[in-house]
Structure 1
């Protein structure tokens, strides 16, 4: 990503929040036989391990993606994309005619650790329970038919990624005066073609936490 100092996101707690709120991520590898390959899977923080400066991710891939990526052999990139959207120059002062795209994005790097079958199933169960917790009384669990769930789990490979480096950006109109920022937020909260409540909330976190 473009290295613009005032857009750097170096707060690890904010990176963790971004992962928690945006679990659908892209995993990218460079392998000799295929060049660059990418897949898309849900990633969760290993909350117990992700303390201090350390960030640890848990996920799985469906076979044979573990072979396609050659997981465990070299570094991979996991891209987590937060709220993003078009910012029209019509929201700026007259004479400022260059549009932009606001976003919150982090690139997380590390060498995946392949989980054994037992731990992979625990991660899959945790992943299911994590998302099903919002469903209420009709929530499902792998434990409802564990024998069948374990058979299905054999088609997946679990992984743990201890993040060794981070490249994160939070580009939210920090280069604009306060009155323009307020106008952008108002437009994002409106009913126009580029309205985006999630992006407006992210801008409030940066520019005026009292409004978030």
Structure 2
């Protein structure tokens, strides 16, 4: 990402929060015979496998994506994208005409570990249960028909990524005055063409945590 020191996000807890709240990630690899390849899968934090300030992700890919990426042979990039949106200069002071795009983004690097079948199935169960919790009494589990679920799981490959490098940005109008920031938040919370309540919440977290 562009080197913008005043937007760098180096708080590991905030990066973990970004992953928790935005689990749909992009996995990017540079493969000799194909060049750059990308796939999209959900990721979870593996809290049990992490030590200290370490960030550990677990996920899976559908076959044959593990071959497409040559997983386990080299470093991959996992992109986690939080709320983002257009910021119109009409929300700025008179005479300011340059727009921007606010965003929260993390680039996470590491060499993935390929999981065995048993651990892959466990992770698939965790992924399903994690997202099904919101369904309440309607929630479904792979355990309902484990034999069938295990057959389906054979079409996937589980992976664990111990993040060795983080490059994250929190670009939320930190270079603007408080008055302008308030106007931007008001517009994002409104009903205009670029309204984005999630981006407004992120801006409140940065500029006035008491209001987030």
Sort the TM-score into its range (normalised by shorter chain). Answer: over 0.9
| Bigger Cα displacement from structure 2, 50-59 vs 123-132 | 50-59
- State the distance in 1 between where 2:178 and 2:203 align: 11
- State the distance in 2 between where 1:14 and 1:75 align: 23
- State the distance in 1 between where 2:32 and 2:8 align: 32
- State the distance in 2 between where 1:48 and 1:9 align: 24
Q: Tell whether 2:156 aligns with 1:156.
A: yes
- State the distance in 2 between where 1:191 and 1:52 align: 43
Instruction: Map 1:64-103; keep pairs closer than 5 Å.
Output: 64-103=64-103
- Call closer, same or farther: CA 1:205–1:50 in 2, change over 3 Å: farther
Instruction: Map 1:20-39; keep pairs closer than 5 Å.
Output: 20-39=20-39
- State the distance in 2 between where 1:3 and 1:179 align: 27
- 1:187 corresponds to: 187
- State the distance in 1 between where 2:47 and 2:187 align: 36
- State the distance in 2 between where 1:41 and 1:166 align: 19
Task: In structure 1, list runs of 5 or more residues that go unmatched.
Answer: none
- State the distance in 2 between where 1:108 and 1:6 align: 19
- Contact conserved, 1:18 with 1:82, CA < 8 A, in 2? yes
In the TM superposition, what is the alpha-carbon distance from 1:3 to its structure 2 partner?
Answer: 0.7
- Contact conserved, 1:77 with 1:109, CA < 8 A, in 2? yes
Q: Number of residues paired by the alignment?
A: 212
Flag the structure with higher helix content.
2
CA offsets 1:41-92 (integer angstroms, 9 cap, x no match): 0000002234532000000000000000000000000000000000000000
CA offsets 1:180-199 (integer angstroms, 9 cap, x no match): 00000000000000000000
TM-score (norm 2): 0.99
Extract structure 1 runs of 4+ deviating beyond 2 A: 49-52
CA offsets 1:119-160 (integer angstroms, 9 cap, x no match): 000000000000000101010000000000000000000000
- Contact conserved, 1:49 with 1:55, CA < 8 A, in 2? no
- 2:120 corresponds to: 120
- State the distance in 2 between where 1:3 and 1:44 align: 27
Q: What is the RMSD computed on CA atoms of the aligned residues?
A: 0.6
In the TM superposition, what is the alpha-carbon distance from 1:163 to its structure 2 partner?
Answer: 0.1
